[in-house]
Chain A
Amino acid sequence: MSATNGLTIAVPRGALFDETVELLAGLGLDTSELRSNDRKLLFEDIGVITMRPSDVPTYVEAGAADIGITGKDVILEQVGSHDDQAGREIYELLDLGYGRCTMVLATKAGPDPAAEALRRLGVMRIATKYPRIAARHMEQTGRQAEIVEVKGSVELAPLTGMVEAIIDLTATGTTLREHELVVREEIVVCTARLIANPVAHKLKANAIDELLERLRAN
């Protein structure tokens, strides 16, 4: 039996990559090529496929990978709210603990411009890469907001006056500080999660449970 029990595992490139590779190495997987070849996507001999973190739920839900690792932020963003049934059909099996970040609402320092906009204009404008998380947070806190989806550096949006606030993920707060932004609200703490395809979870139960046990013991 291979180190991943014959399972295909979706591994996120990017911020979670190094710790994920460490985790897999800890399970006895030969990760040398995974570390050395960052252009390769499919590592069939070790049952690993690599992709951007936001694609991991897609591959796992479709069954192209049996299990996968991605951030809670990605999962939350892809889970539907009550008015949009976009929820992913995946199992969330384990909090792996690493990749710890906080989803925050931040604005420029000084008097809170978002609160002022809400009071005087009835709505605050929020730039984010996580439109669903942002919309849900504003809805749950009973405030009106216009969500502006951006793809790149979110910090730019309040500095140019396009929005009053941003909702983004921060690990150390350094980027926020560099742009003179301050955290006004902490929304949710996000860590890396182990997810599984619902059919694989039943048909490959032993392989998945055994792997889960070794991960818990780590």
Chain B
Amino acid sequence: MIHPIPSGTRDVLPDETREVRAITDALRCVFERHNYGEVYTPALEYESVLERADMAEAKPAYRVFDESGATLVLRSDMTVPIARVVATRYPTVDPPLRFCYLAHCYRGVRPQRGQPRELLQAGIELIGAPAPVGTVEALNVLCSALDEIGLADYKIGLGDASLYPSLMASLGVPVELRPQLLSALAGRDFVSLERDLREIELSTDDKELLLAVPQRRGSPDVLDASLGAVADATANMRDVYELLTPDVAGKVIFDLGLVRSIGYYTGAVFEVYDPALGAPIGGGGRYDELLGRFGRSLPAVGFALGVDRLHIALMGEERGTGARLP
């Protein structure tokens, strides 16, 4: 008899589990070595609690009702549950707090390679460590973790969530038009961005900036070539970069157009790329306002890696499919 399981979920059988375990064991070791204590939280949470966070695209997609009629959701990430844990269980403990997790999260995505609806995430949250030192620590742990599991060709795209909003503000883009431009950028649609910009009453130079700046990415030169309008954001990026060890710094690509689909990021944001996979393996960033929404205002930073994507990228590198880069 064949019995189906929901689209976007799957069974993991021993051969695969052994390989996944090798990855997750190595990640745990690295996280523990950096003093990140592992936590488990319920997969089900009250919708009213998780709603405090601005999840934007990544908000919970699955809801159930409990026996009292309360709405429960399957968590869509671990950052928001950990923010809840910090506010609830550590209301007075002195920061910084360090947590790590290996946990399944649930998203209403179109299931495809490396993008299941039930995804195993591995990540850390560093609570109470402001920029840039907190960001630098998170990037260090991220690189240690990826090095430890043997991923060789990865790069880390580093951007700043405040960059484009402050660019729009300083160039005087009307407030009501900003969401539209940001949404074109988040949708990676530069054709729409250009078309929307054409409609706005701004000087040609300013329009060109608004189109060109988010397409700047690459070596630290992209920071030097930048301008007053985004000076704060690029200064933040430079601060982080200057504190990185050379091996971590060598992995960083600056990306002035990096926008994450989750809404709660405030400052530095980053994504992990590997030539062996067509989609980011993971990412993270600063969420300095999220904890405040749960009643314990602390700056924070974290990242999550998709374990399945890591596995695919590792196998791709092994098979040499990742060697196409010049």
Chain A residues in the interface with B (C-beta under 8 A): 6, 8, 61-64, 80, 84-87, 89-95, 193, 197-207, 209
Asked if B188 and A90 sit within 8 Å, CB to CB, the answer is yes
Q: Say yes or no: is B151 at the interface (Cβ < 8 Å to chain A).
A: no
Per a CB cutoff under 8 Å, which of B110, B215, B278, B326 touches A199? B278
* Segment with Cβ contacts to A, from B138-146, B269-277, B290-298: B269-277
In the complex, B227 has a CB within 8 A of chain A: no
Q: Which residues of chain B are near A86, meaning CB under 8 Å?
A: 110
Q: Which stretch of B13-21, B174-182, B189-197, B242-250 is in the interface?
A: B189-197
Q: How far is the CA of A6 from the CA of B323 in the complex (A)?
A: 13
User: Once the chains bind, are B110 and A85 in contact (CB under 8 Å)?
Assistant: yes
Nearest Cβ on chain B to A13's Cβ, whole angstroms: 22
B110 touches A6 (CB 8 A): no
Partner pick for B273 among A6, A61, A85, A199, CB 8 A cutoff: A199
The answer to whether A62 touches B325, judged by C-beta atoms less than 8 angstroms apart, is no
- For A196, give the chain B residue with the smallest CB separation: B188
Given the complex, which residues of A lie within 8 Å of B112, measured CB to CB? 62
Q: Write the chain A residue with the least CB distance to B193.
A: A92
**Cα of A62 to Cα of B276 in the assembled complex, Å:** 10
Interface size class of B (residues with CB under 8 A): 20 to 34
Evaluate contact between A6 and B326: CB separation under 8 angstroms: yes
| Smallest Cβ-Cβ distance to A96: which chain B residue | B191
How distant is the Cα of A91 from the Cα of B280 in the complex, in angstroms? 13
User: Is A92's CB under 8 angstroms from B275's CB?
Assistant: no
Most chain A beta carbons < 10 A, residue from B188, B215, B255 = B188
Contact with A along B247-284 (1 / 0, CB 8 A): 00000010100000000000000010111011110000
- Chain B residue with the shortest CB-CB distance to A193: B191
In angstroms, Cα B274 to Cα A93, docked, is: 21
User: Given A6-B326, A206-B218, A209-B215, are A94 and B191 neighbors across the interface (CB < 8 Å)?
Assistant: yes
Instruction: Say if the beta carbon of B98 comes within 8 Å of chain A.
Output: no
Known pairs A198-B279, A202-B255 / 20 extra A-B pairs, C-beta < 8 Å: A61-B279, A63-B277, A63-B279, A84-B110, A85-B108, A85-B109, A89-B188, A90-B188, A94-B191, A198-B278, A198-B280, A199-B275, A199-B280, A202-B155, A202-B271, A202-B273, A203-B253, A203-B275, A203-B325, A205-B217
Q: A89-B279, A209-B215 are in contact. Are A203 and B190 (CB under 8 A)?
A: no
In contact, B325 and A92 (Cβ under 8 angstroms): no
Interchain CB contact under 8 A, A95 and B191: yes
**Contact string against A for B residues 112-149, beta-carbon threshold 8 Å, 1 for contact and 0 otherwise:** 11000000000000000000000000000000000000
Determine whether B157 belongs to the interface, using a CB cutoff of 8 Å to chain A: yes
A91 surroundings in chain B (CB, below 8 A)? 188-190
Given known A90-B188, A92-B192, A93-B190, contact A204–B325 (CB-CB < 8 A): yes
